[in-house]
Each structure stands twice: as structure tokens, then as C-alpha cells.
Amino acid sequence: MEWRRTYGRAPKMIYLEANFVQFKEELLPKEGNKALLTFPFLHVYWTDCCDSEVYKASVKEDMQRWQAALRLHGSVDWIIAVVESDNKKKNKTNLLPRTSIVDKIRSDFCNKQSDRCVSLCEPLKESSRSQESWSSFLTKLRTLLLMSFTRNLGRFEDDMRTLREKRTEPGWSFCDYFMVQEELAFVFEMLQQFEDALVQYDELDALFTQYVLNFGAGGKPSSVKI
């Protein structure tokens, strides 16, 4: 996919691989976490609820707990997928159409972000409606995943720069900083942006060389943990 970043950088074609994992609150990032590839970026809530009473009794409350956990850990990237099956549609006991559940979810949780709730229609059928539904859902998933990835990467780079600016302070650890910038190199390697990955190691090499030169010139590297 095409990746456009801020600061006037030219767009690049990247390969972003994504894996699905079951939601667990302990997987969410914690304050001070210096890793970027160890926590989920985009969260997807799946439901096939088509009954308004069931939605009010259990599904809505479960969604509220889910979103509360995300807010607690500063995770703002999510999407709700409502699965609409043929069997559910044919259930004549339902007094309200399936779309009313989607509308309720958008009203209760999406506010001005109505696009965060998508309907996946008859996903197991080989029909034009199903294919269009899949195409729309995957496009939205790719877009939100890339937005989340870019946001988290930008935050990670800001934290890394802040850590680097503290290198003259007592107790600053080059090894700890190395692990952080190496994580960024791993990210670029994953995106198949190998030149950008090598830049990270060049910067680390220059930083370490500067400490060696400072020591040779009578500096005080004792304040820096190597």
C-alpha cells in the first residue's frame, strides 16, 4: 500500500503484514513501554447480534467494557464489525431490521466516527453483495490499520528523540537507547524499507563514536552506562 507520512516526506510503497490475536487487556501498551511491535495497533470488535433486546441486555455492555479498556491504555484505533448472515435475515421473529442494530451501535459508540462501524453482509456467500461487503470492509481495515501504525510510529519516534536528548544526563544508558532505536530499525525492515533501517544503525554508530572521541579528548563518559 502507499504510505504517506507527515513533514513533507515523499510517499512510499510499503508492505505491512498484520496478524489477528484475541483481545486481552494485558496486551495493551503500558506507560513507559519502549516497544513498538509487541502490542496490537488496531482493535476489531465482532458481533452478529441482530436482536435489539439482546443488544441492550449484553452486547452493548460488553462493547462499553471493551472501549473503556482501550481508553484506559490510550488506544484510540478501533472498528466494530457487524456480521450479517443469511440465516439471521430469514428469522421472521425479528421485528426490527438488521440495519437498526448498526444504527444503534453508531449512535451509542461512534458519534462523529460513523465509519468506525461497518456491516459485513453474508460473508460466506458467493454473491456480488457479499463481495462488495468484503471489499469495503478490507479497504476500511487497511486504511485504519495504516493510520494507527503511522500514529504509533510517530509517537515512538518522538519518545526516542526525547530519550536521545537526555544523553548528557547522569545515568543515561547507551545500551537502553540502542534497544529503542534498534526497534525502529526492525520496524522499517518489516516494511521492507531497508535503507531507512540502515540509517538507524548509522546514527547509532555515529552516537557511539562520538562518545569514544569525547573520552579520548578527556570527556567524562562515566556518567553514561555502556
| pLDDT per residue as tens digits for the range 29-45 | 877 666 787 888 899 99
The confidence score (pLDDT) of residue 177 equals 92
Distance of CA 16 to the CA centre of its chain: 12
Statement: the pTM of the whole predicted model exceeds 0.85: no
The confidence score (pLDDT) of residue 92 equals 46
The confidence score (pLDDT) of residue 226 equals 54
The confidence score (pLDDT) of residue 7 equals 67
**Of the candidates 146, 123, 124, 149, the residue with the CA atom closest to the CA atom of residue 136:** 123
> Alpha-carbon distance 89 to 70, whole Å?
32
Would you state the cell numbers that stand for residue 104, as one nine-digit string? 444503534
CB 81 within 8 Å of CB 120:
yes
The confidence score (pLDDT) of residue 90 equals 52
> Alpha-carbon distance 158 to 174, whole Å?
17
Give the amino acid at 153: L
Residues 6 or more apart whose Cβ sits within 8 Å of residue 64: none
The confidence score (pLDDT) of residue 2 equals 85
The confidence score (pLDDT) of residue 96 equals 46
Question: Which residues of the chain carry a pLDDT beneath 70?
Answer: 6-7, 32-34, 86-99, 215-226
